[in-house]
Chains A and B, each alone.
Chain A
Amino acid sequence: MLKPAFGIFLLMPLKREKDLEKKIAKERIEFLLNKAQEIKKENYELARRYVELAVKIAKKYRIRLGKLKVFFCKKCLYPYAEGKFRVRVHKSRVIVTCFNCGYERRIPVKPKKS
């Protein structure tokens, strides 16, 4: 596929299709995180690798993870699995602790007004 004529076009800058890139990137991130959720009971290391890839893609194409980011630890990127994390409610915020690295994620919760 690499012909000598191909070299000329390498110098030519082409416009990037950012909308298409973002669409594909979103699909890939969702796929990878779902895959990580499925596999985390059998192979915890591989699940972390999938999360790592998903986060890398999100950073590269500037996509917000939104609610999806609650499923893994922000610091060590291991997905939260059974017996590896703790959830507490304290002073109107939810505290999620990761047992792998000890990182605490605090999610503020507004108390309901009666």
Chain B
Amino acid sequence: MLARDWIGMKVEVIESPNPCEVGIKGEVVDETMNTLKIRTEKGVKTIIKKGRLFKVYADKVYKVKGDLINFRPEERIMRGIIMLKRRKVVW
């Protein structure tokens, strides 16, 4: 999930330091280095990745920490694979 494309997927924000953002649900429209743009019923909302916890509805349901995808979208393929490898090393 760390290396895959998030555009077009359904996402929910579970945890956030900002209480207004909790529970935002919708489809990812665009992705930049630090933010995700999510299309909800009330319009497109921009959410910072850092410090948030996301729930992603792909073929399975994943919970992903925002800190782990805090890269540019094209850089994430390389970094995501390395990150998964490292996780095996640490644990």
List residues of A whose CB falls within 8 A of some B CB: 1-3, 5-6, 9, 14, 16-17, 20-21, 24-25, 27-28, 31-32, 35, 46, 49-50, 53, 56-57, 60-61
Query: Could you count the A-B residue pairs with CB atoms below 8 Å apart for me: how many are there?
Result: 57
Q: Mark B26-48, 1 if CB is under 8 A from A, else 0.
A: 00011100000000000000000
Residue contact A35 to B65, C-beta cutoff 8 Å: no
B58 to chain A, nearest CB (A): 13
List residues of B whose CB falls within 8 A of some A CB: 3-5, 7-8, 29-31, 65, 67-68, 73-75, 77-78, 81-82, 85-87, 89-90
Residue contact B90 to A9, C-beta cutoff 8 Å: yes
Residue contact A21 to B74, C-beta cutoff 8 Å: no
Write 5 A-B pairs (CB below 8 A) sorted by A numbering. Answer: A14-B82, A24-B77, A27-B5, A35-B8, A56-B74
Residue in B closest to A5 when the chains form the complex, CB atoms: B90
Residue in A closest to B72 when the chains form the complex, CB atoms: A56
Residue contact B90 to A32, C-beta cutoff 8 Å: no
Kindly list chain A residues whose C-beta atoms are within 8 Å of the C-beta of B8: 31, 35
Residue contact A20 to B81, C-beta cutoff 8 Å: yes
Judged by DSSP, the binding face of A is helix
Kindly list chain B residues whose C-beta atoms are within 8 Å of the C-beta of A53: 7, 31, 73-74
Residue contact B7 to A32, C-beta cutoff 8 Å: yes
- Given that A25-B77, A60-B75 are known contacts, is A1 also in contact with B82, CB under 8 Å in the complex? no
